[in-house]
Amino acid sequence: MLKVLNRIIRIFIIILFAVAASNYIKVIETKSYSDNINKTVNLSTMALKALEFKANDIYSAKDTYTGDLTGYVFNCPLCNGTLGCMPSYYIKDGKTTYHDDTYGTVHIVASSSNLSCGSIVRFSYDKLSKEPIVAIVLDRGVRGNSLDLLSPNLDYALNLGRKVITYDVLRNGWGNGES
């Protein structure tokens, strides 16, 4: 009889403890409300807006590659003095940049067909570079993920040498109707 009474008391104490504990547990709501007079945006909405701005940021990397960086000049032994993606763009006067409607004045690089013509890339080729180079793919003639930077002269291209770089693709192809 004592064993039965002892079990009943234990069960009663456990039930009493469970009921008492449930009264102290508060449910945390995941939704936040803003009843303030200024009608400021709640944190969830701000986070969504921040993601929207980042997605529209023209300097956000769409993809990242690693490859060799070399330099070339318009009149190199295997070059014909024109750009593979834009043969009518005149570079025989030593011009190494292009004006893009979105990115402004950018350098010119050659790429393999891994990157579409008009793609915008960003890279640094040494640790001393304060600003990364932003360039547009307007030429062909390299393999894989390598880039070839159009250089103003042969000395510049030779000093650049061959470096392994990691670069970001900021835009895949023209994207805005340029040709």
Domains in the chain, start-ordered, CATH in brackets? 63-171 (2.40.40.10)
Question: Is the Cβ–Cβ distance between 149 and 134 less than 8 Å?
Answer: no
Q: Mind giving me the DSSP string for 81-104?
A: SS-SS-TTS--TTS--EEEETTTE
pLDDT at 10: 85
Q: pLDDT tens for residues 82-116? A: 898 998 988 888 899 999 998 999 999 999 999 99
Q: What tens digit of pLDDT does each residue of 36-83 get?
A: 555 555 666 666 666 655 555 788 888 999 999 999 998 877 777 789
Mean pLDDT of the chain: 81
Mean pLDDT of the region 114-122: 95
